[in-house]
Amino acid sequence: MARIALGLAYEGSGWSGWQTQPSRRTFQDALEAALEAFLDRPTATICAGRTDSGVHALQQVVHLDTVAVRREMSWVRGLNAHLPAQIAVQWARPVAEDFHARFAARSRTYFYVLRSAPAPSPILRGRVGWVHDALDETRMRAAAAHLLGEHDFSAFRSSDCQAASPVRTLSRLDVLRTGEFLVLRFEANAFLHHMVRNLMGVLVAVGRGRRPPEWAAELLSQRDRRLAAPTFMPDGLYLAHVGYPAHPELPLLQPERALAAHLGWPCPDVAGHP
């Protein structure tokens, strides 16, 4: 029995997220159906992070156990031949049996790409978030500073969250502007259900001038989801990177390069940003 790690990219619009669900369109179901067609046997998978409905992935990491022997590129081409167009395997690597896509991960990075413009773009629909207001990124950065570090993120946690603890360590939250786009980078040891989208709701409210930057700190101390902003739209949210420092054999791109590779248009400034 061998353990194989896969790197996946997918476009989440119209899908019900990663995790398998009865009678729903999910990426786990699509991948496991492709594996069954490719290997001629059912094969279970475990992912690094279960993305929600409408959320995209630039580098989702999955592992599976199999007795099948295939070359790395055969895994990529063979599975992609059975996958729908919205999901594609980017790479495959054999890994040690102690590798675990979820529990071996030490960090996760998400990007949120947000367009601020008077009217929505039908071309970018589903790929970026949108607000018609002008946003003050300086105020948003000030709010973001209050959120860094280890905190109880109960105010930013979905009522459906099944995590045992609401405590997470948010190590990075950048707010970068490139033209009419804001690109926000969130990096943490792990995220709660809807945590990034709930953080986005607060940051956008601050950027619009409806709340002061200090509101973010107040919400952390109050630990009450009902007092925070509504959950923001999933359209511009991308799982960009999963960190495995003990497994340098995995061909993981840096998060900015992953964004540049898949989106292109907002990325020269972001990819070159320290």
- What local confidence, expressed as pLDDT, does residue 274 receive? 34
Read off the pLDDT band of 272 (50, 70, 90): very low
* Residue 209 backbone class (left: φ over 0; alpha: ψ -120 to 50; beta: rest): left
Cα 141 from Cα 110, distance rounded (Å)? 17
Residue type, 212: P
- The string of pLDDT tens digits covering residues 178-210 is 889 999 999 999 999 999 999 999 999 999 999
- What local confidence, expressed as pLDDT, does residue 179 receive? 85
Question: 107-239 — its CATH code?
Answer: 3.30.70.660
Kindly report whether the global pTM for this prediction surpasses the value 0.85. Answer: yes
Read off the pLDDT band of 13 (50, 70, 90): very high
Residue 273, pLDDT above cutoff 60: no
For residues 112-127, average pLDDT? 93
- What local confidence, expressed as pLDDT, does residue 268 receive? 45
For residues 94-109, average pLDDT? 96
Tokens of 244: 């495995």
Asked: is 2-104 a CATH 3.30.70.580 domain? The reply is: yes
Strand partners of residue 122: none
Read off the pLDDT band of 263 (50, 70, 90): confident
Residue 271, pLDDT above cutoff 70: no
Read off the pLDDT band of 40 (50, 70, 90): very high
- What local confidence, expressed as pLDDT, does residue 264 receive? 66
The catalytic residue positions are 52
Nearest to 58 by CA among 269, 273, 266: 266
Residue 142, pLDDT above cutoff 50: yes
For residues 80-92, average pLDDT? 97
* Residue 81 backbone class (left: φ over 0; alpha: ψ -120 to 50; beta: rest): alpha
Cα 47 from Cα 62, distance rounded (Å)? 4
As annotated, the residues of the chain forming the CATH 3.30.70.580 domain(s) are: 2-104
